[in-house]
Amino acid sequence: MTKKHPVNEKSKQEQLEQFKTDDRNQALTTNQGLKLSEDEFSLKAGERGPTLMEDFHFREKMTHFDHERIPERIVHARGFAAHGEFELYDSLSEYTKAKFLQNPSVKTPVFVRFSTVAGSKGSAETVRDARGFATKFYTEEGNYDLVGNNIPVFFIQDAIKFPDLIHAVKPEPHNEMPQAASAHDTFWDFVANNQESAHMVMWSMSDRAIPRSLRMMEGFGVHTFRLVNAEGKAHFVKFHWKPLLGTHSLVWDEAQTISGKDPDFHRRDLWESIENGDYPEYELGIQIIDEEDEFKFDFDILDPTKLWPEEDIPVKLVGKMTLNRNVDNVFAETEQVAFHPGHVVPGIDFSNDPLLQGRLFSYTDTQLIRLGGPNFHELPINRPVCPFHNNQRDGYGRQTINKGPVSYHRNSLAANTPAPVPESEGGYAHYQEKVEGRKVRSRSESFKDHFSQATLFWNSMSDTEKEHIISAFSFELGKVKSKSVQQQVVDMFANVSTVLAKQVAQAIGATPPSGEDAPVTKSSPALSQEQTIKKPNTRKVAVIVANDFSGDLPQVLNSLKQQGIQPEIVSTTLQNVKGTDGSELEVQHTFLTSDSVLFDAVYVVGSASADEKFRKEALTFAQEAFEHFKPIGATDEGVKWLKAAGLDSSPGVVTGETTRFTDEFIEAISAHRHWNRHVI
């Protein structure tokens, strides 16, 4: 009988505590614990003499500094993360034997890293790009990593083409430009000559590629996996994360402006939300297909460029993840966390998706170079909460001190331990799928339809979303210098929609295709953000106020706060502003330090005593918000200013002339954008 290891009952947070240190009020020492009497001057031969090699403190300090940086991730370099917990709604024992998916009363600690894909570690965060959405579950059976994106499909079907894709989208090697952008020749040349990318490109050109917040974007496991239950029965599965705040996006001009105003916009938003107690929440959803139904659909369920339409295969919501704690140290946690789709637990297995199969190799290989060797699993952020024992030894960064002479299997000196655990007692066993065939370099005929789901995506968009996609293509291809590449892309996407291709061709001076779009026979409402949840919670409102504001303002602000809205005062200086009744409001921002693009709505109050410069600054805020289709509110002097500028009487603009100002303004904020507004 094999000896079972006791489960470590410490939470992940408790486990990490043993690695934390607070240097405040401590004596300065070397890394060996030697107390130091001086840390400003190196050891010299005389006050003006050369530095001596025997200065061990200088050498230790400089050596550590010289080696502080590790190679950034080739992709997903720009990321930010948070801790949280996952709780199940109902047992999934029907589908899987994974223990963390059995008991709704058990909370599983998680660590989630969000990221852009193409840019370097120092790039801006609101660029047009897919976003990584990687979740590490610290379960009692070991770590399980769900490593996905905010887009449910990918550019390529086979992992062998991944280096080609990334080489194409990265800055062009001859001049190292552009950074964190796909609007250049090599990317679009790749797209035109690898037409399996059509579906993913449609998503990338949509609003999904410029999320409003990491808290307001969906996550997808992308690949088809297997769930296996205790009886050995398997189902195909796709994983989803659904944000409880809905799925919302920026507009392109706004995204570009934010990149200059606050390149840390998304991480700041996530950090501040958690610090404020507005914890981001996502529901875990699964789509399930019986194995016997694998070939039932008009697409191959193993093709990573295809999604499973939610109207055909519904998403079952099975649990909720809450992010409730920021990291203590970005490098130690966010940068050193090592995800891998091959980190699974019993009851979760793989499919033959060729992109997934390649990822199962490449992720370990990547961690070896980034984190210095095979012991990256011993870094605190990567350590499982359950014990781990095997015959692996030594290597860079080894922290475990293994006792005894035995480091091999099989053995008698240690009673053949550590010993394998039978599947019936929790040992992992791969699903026994029958596999046969010739060794070939090819792909299934069922993978060769590259356009039907791209067309499904287009047909599912609202008119506004289609306009944004056309503009995105026009912008990106407008940056391409090769006329041949531009024309190839137009010709390619005529297979998706001639309406799309014709308008893009007109914008970039290419030859438009002939013909018309076929009548729409199928669409998927779940793909349109128009159908998303719309709540006012956590929305930030710039409240533009001057001295001598109306005494009614604090009451309005309190009403907004009661709905989870975050009003922040903007004025000319950071000095408190005073109302006519003697009340005071703390100013958080000035016109110089802030901008309307950093807020979800603008509320213009002003005052009769505000000067002309203040009025112009306030209207600049309001005008930009108006052009970005954001909600605008105005009371007191602000109403006159909006009227004079012609910004009143438009959808989403609410003034104090209505008796329900506060309620109507909250409703306008909930809508997120007001696309029916006429913007010149």
Handedness of CA 403, 404, 409, 413 (dihedral sign): negative
Which residues 6+ apart lie within 8 Å of 46 measured at CB?
A: none
pLDDT in the model for residue 595: 97
Query: In angstroms, what CA-CA distances link 600 with 627, 629, 631?
Result: 13, 10, 7
- CA angle, corner 132, sides to 540 and 396, nearest 5? 125
pLDDT in the model for residue 10: 66
pLDDT in the model for residue 7: 44
> Looking at 57, 83, 143, 149, which residue is catalytic?
149
Residues 662 and 538 in one domain: yes
Residues 629 and 641 in one domain: yes
CATH number at residue 476: 1.20.1370.20
- CA angle, corner 273, sides to 15 and 122, nearest 5? 80
Indicate whether 463 belongs to any domain: yes
Does 382 participate in catalysis according to the annotation? no
Query: In angstroms, what CA-CA distances link 478 with 173, 188, 207, 471, 509?
Result: 20, 11, 18, 10, 9
Q: Judge residue 613's burial from the number of C-beta atoms within 10 Å of its C-beta, 0-12 exposed, 13-18 middle, 19 or more buried.
A: exposed
**Of 506, 530, 554, which one is at a domain's C-terminal end?**
530
The letter for the amino acid at 270 is L
pLDDT in the model for residue 657: 77
Does 76 participate in catalysis according to the annotation? yes
**Of 530, 553, 573, which one is at a domain's C-terminal end?**
530
pLDDT in the model for residue 6: 43
**Of 530, 545, 573, which one is at a domain's C-terminal end?**
530
pLDDT in the model for residue 680: 60
Q: What is the rounded radius of gyration, in angstroms, for the C-alpha atoms of the chain?
A: 28
Domain coverage including residue 517: 457-530
pLDDT in the model for residue 1: 37
Q: Measured between alpha carbons, how far is 517 from 466 in angstroms, rounded to an integer?
A: 14
The letter for the amino acid at 118 is A
pLDDT in the model for residue 183: 98
DSSP per residue, 117-130: SSS-TTS-SSSSS-
pLDDT in the model for residue 550: 87
Name the pTM for this structure.
0.94
How many CB atoms are closer than 10 A to CB 372? 16
Residues 526 and 592 in one domain: no
pLDDT in the model for residue 174: 96
How many CB atoms are closer than 10 A to CB 216? 22
> Looking at 57, 76, 240, 248, which residue is catalytic?
76
Indicate whether 270 belongs to any domain: no
Indicate whether 338 belongs to any domain: no
Residues 515 and 590 in one domain: no
Domain total in the chain: 2
Identify the three-state secondary structure at position 415.
coil
Consecutive 10-residue averages of pLDDT for the chain (680 residues)? 45 86 86 89 90 89 88 96 98 98 97 98 97 97 97 96 96 96 98 98 98 98 98 98 98 98 98 98 98 96 98 98 98 97 96 94 90 93 92 90 91 92 92 88 94 98 98 98 98 98 98 94 96 96 96 92 97 96 95 97 95 97 97 96 93 89 96 88
